[in-house]
Chain A
Amino acid sequence: MSHRFLPYLWTSLFLLVAIVLSVAIGSVFIPLLSQLRLLADWLMRRPLPDSLQTFASIISAIRLPRTALVLLTGAALGGSGAADQGLFRNPLADPYLIGVASGAGLGAVLAMSLNWPYSFWGLMAVPLAAFCAALATVFVVYSLARLGKTVPTTNLILAGVAFGSFASALTSYLMLRSTGDLHRAIAWMLGGASQAGWSPVLAVLPFLAIGLGILVLSGHSLNLMQYGDDQAQQLGLHVTRARTVILVAASLTTAAAVSFSGIIGFIGLIVPHVMRLWFGADYRRLLPLSILSGAGALLLADVLARTLLAPQELPVGIITALAGAPFFLWVLRRTKNQGYW
């Protein structure tokens, strides 16, 4: 019995360590003991001692909102990556490869270029636009890839890559031409974590709660889909309905991640693979595990991005690619396990 919970224990621990590091590290170092002390005081509703006042304001105004946003983004990338791989039965599928992420990015930039006010509802419009664009992308890519009644995976990925490049090019053009809030668009490109405060966190939260919630419940359907459409349906799955639900949920999740954190590659590709190598192919387990460790992995990458060239910040996407790719190759080489996919 215990070995069924062990994977959750390890990934939760990993996430916890990543959260502590993310709160601790920055221009001012906040040791774990002070973090615990502050947490205890806050939980007990005790007044703060003067010595910890600075730490408290740094944590609540800067570190925690950033940690929360990065955590949610990583969770979204890990979860939607796992779902896309299962949905298309392809180890290469991730939100970027099938074009959804670039489509969502285009939607987000469009919304930002319209000069919405930097308020909660203004911020809320960004993920909404990203989601609509992501769904439109799925629809366009799906129709382009369709052959009669089937959608061959190769066609889907080719169409996804082509449409994704088109959307990225359009995004770049819009950002260059933008006379409006170009500053915000550039900040977005560098990873939305540089946007301060709790508003972005609150704006993505509902999208992520719905999207990730549906994905976590879709493990059994994804398991069945691994046998192909015919067998899945013969086993009793309403394949078209299940696929639509999962596709919309994964797009919602991707859109939420992209709309405030820009283009961050590799997490959605690598994290599900590592989880699959270590803990098996059952999607009922793979999805929550990919969500937990996606969050942890992106937090660590973000810590590195903040510290490597401090006080200058690196775009977190550079770190995920620089650290993620070799790590993934190392894991892959070490695995004697044939046919884990």
Chain B
Amino acid sequence: MLRIEDLTVAYGARRVLHAVSLEVEAGQVVALIGPNGSGKSTLVRAVSGVLPVLGGRVRTNGDDLLSLPPVQRARHLAVVPQAVSLPPAFSVWETVLMGRTPYLNFLGQVSLRDEEIARQALQKVEALELADRRVGELSGGEQQRVLLARALAQSTPILLLDEPTSNLDMHYQISFMETVRALAHQEHLAVLIALHDLNLAARYADRVALLQEGELKACGTPRQVLTAELISSAYHLPVQVVPHPFADTPLVLPEDRSV
């Protein structure tokens, strides 16, 4: 499980995260939502240890992740970034094997076991047949799957995803989110995923956390957080929330601003 305690981050004098506390249980998908600039990506980067924090802790089973050296941290927590400007010349296989870095020596020598884990990771995201292709030849949806496989190859109990569906078409969005949810539930991963699309969050997350101007405004089930009142005020846009016609989740529909 992942426990974020009072995390505060500032860029210069400007505070971009104010004492955010959030828990993600093992086997659970928590969606991080909020308007542009609300601090979603900052939270993901800070939790992954690449941003200096002003205060707060990130714990898993007692360890403070932020005080660990990068190698140790990478054994607890893996990050799936947006698939943009990836080095195109590496093959998919080479890319996924880089997920094994926290277990390799500095020469990066892989064992048969590392190769087996990488193979399984590719299989879990249904991308095994891409193994010999170059990353630069793949579509955005395929690249995003490869990055998910790379994170799975890290064999970590915690998975962070930073808006992985933003550049994907409808088909890839749904299949990607289905894969992430299935992995969380079957492999007992604690998954924190920053999402733009509120309806993807409603449909695939067990819990939803709403960030607004660097503060956590609400956290709970999709039904508790995705209310017309909370969403309208966070996004400065009138919305209606209706029952999804064929799923047991809320559906957020934006109105015209003039209404």
A residues in contact (CB < 8 Å) with B: 217, 219-221, 223-224, 226-231, 233-239, 276, 280-282, 284, 338-341
Chain B contacts for A341, CB-based, 8 A: 88-89
Chain B contacts for A223, CB-based, 8 A: 90, 94, 98, 108
B140 at the interface (CB under 8 A from A): no
- Minimal beta-carbon separation of A61 from chain B (angstroms): 40
B165 at the interface (CB under 8 A from A): no
A253–B159 alpha-carbon span in the complex (Å): 40
Which residue among B50, B71, B87 has the maximum number of chain A CB atoms within 10 Å of its CB?
A: B87
Q: Are A226 and B69 in contact (CB under 8 A)?
A: no
A236-B73, A236-B102, A281-B90 known; 19 other A-B pairs, CB under 8 Å?
Answer: A219-B108, A220-B107, A220-B108, A221-B106, A223-B90, A227-B86, A230-B45, A230-B48, A234-B49, A234-B50, A235-B98, A235-B99, A235-B101, A237-B101, A276-B89, A280-B89, A281-B87, A339-B89, A340-B89
Q: Nearest 6 pairs between A and B by C-beta?
A: A220-B108, A236-B74, A281-B89, A339-B136, A236-B102, A339-B88
Beyond A220-B106, A280-B89, A339-B89, whether A234 also contacts B79 by CB under 8 A is yes
* Residues from 54 to 82 in B contacting A, C-beta threshold 8 Å: 69-71, 73-75, 77-79, 81
Q: Are B89 and A237 in contact (CB under 8 A)?
A: no
B104 at the interface (CB under 8 A from A): yes
B154 at the interface (CB under 8 A from A): yes
Chain A contacts for B3, CB-based, 8 A: none
15 pairs, A vs B, C-beta closer than 8 Å: A223-B108, A230-B48, A230-B50, A234-B48, A236-B73, A236-B74, A236-B75, A236-B101, A236-B154, A237-B101, A238-B70, A276-B89, A339-B89, A339-B134, A339-B137
Chain A contacts for B107, CB-based, 8 A: 217, 219-220, 284
- Minimal beta-carbon separation of B137 from chain A (angstroms): 8
Chain B contacts for A234, CB-based, 8 A: 48-50, 70, 74, 77-79, 81
A233–B102 alpha-carbon span in the complex (Å): 10
Q: Are B89 and A233 in contact (CB under 8 A)?
A: no
Which residue among B73, B86, B107, B150 has the maximum number of chain A CB atoms within 10 Å of its CB?
A: B107
* B154 (CB) vs chain A CBs: closest residue: A235
Q: Which of B70, B88, B136 contacts A236 (CB 8 A)?
A: B70
Q: Are B108 and A233 in contact (CB under 8 A)?
A: no
Chain A contacts for B89, CB-based, 8 A: 276, 280-281, 339-341
Q: Which of B77, B78, B87, B154 contacts A227 (CB 8 A)?
A: B87
* A229 (CB) vs chain B CBs: closest residue: B50
Q: Are A231 and B90 in contact (CB under 8 A)?
A: no
* A239 (CB) vs chain B CBs: closest residue: B70
* B85 (CB) vs chain A CBs: closest residue: A228
- Minimal beta-carbon separation of B63 from chain A (angstroms): 15
* A338 (CB) vs chain B CBs: closest residue: B136
A237–B50 alpha-carbon span in the complex (Å): 11
Q: Are A236 and B108 in contact (CB under 8 A)?
A: no
Q: Which of A221, A226, A230, A338 contacts B90 (CB 8 A)?
A: A226
Chain A contacts for B154, CB-based, 8 A: 235-236
* B136 (CB) vs chain A CBs: closest residue: A339
A217–B105 alpha-carbon span in the complex (Å): 11
* Residues from 26 to 47 in B contacting A, C-beta threshold 8 Å: 45
- Minimal beta-carbon separation of A311 from chain B (angstroms): 45
- Minimal beta-carbon separation of A149 from chain B (angstroms): 8
Q: Are B134 and A220 in contact (CB under 8 A)?
A: no
Chain B contacts for A228, CB-based, 8 A: 85
Q: Which of A221, A233, A340 contacts B50 (CB 8 A)?
A: A233
* A277 (CB) vs chain B CBs: closest residue: B89
Chain B contacts for A284, CB-based, 8 A: 107-108
Q: Are B81 and A235 in contact (CB under 8 A)?
A: no
* A283 (CB) vs chain B CBs: closest residue: B108
- Minimal beta-carbon separation of A36 from chain B (angstroms): 37
Chain B contacts for A276, CB-based, 8 A: 89
* B45 (CB) vs chain A CBs: closest residue: A230
- Minimal beta-carbon separation of B93 from chain A (angstroms): 11
A211–B127 alpha-carbon span in the complex (Å): 40
A115–B50 alpha-carbon span in the complex (Å): 50
* A240 (CB) vs chain B CBs: closest residue: B70
Which residue among A236, A238, A280 has the maximum number of chain B CB atoms within 10 Å of its CB?
A: A236
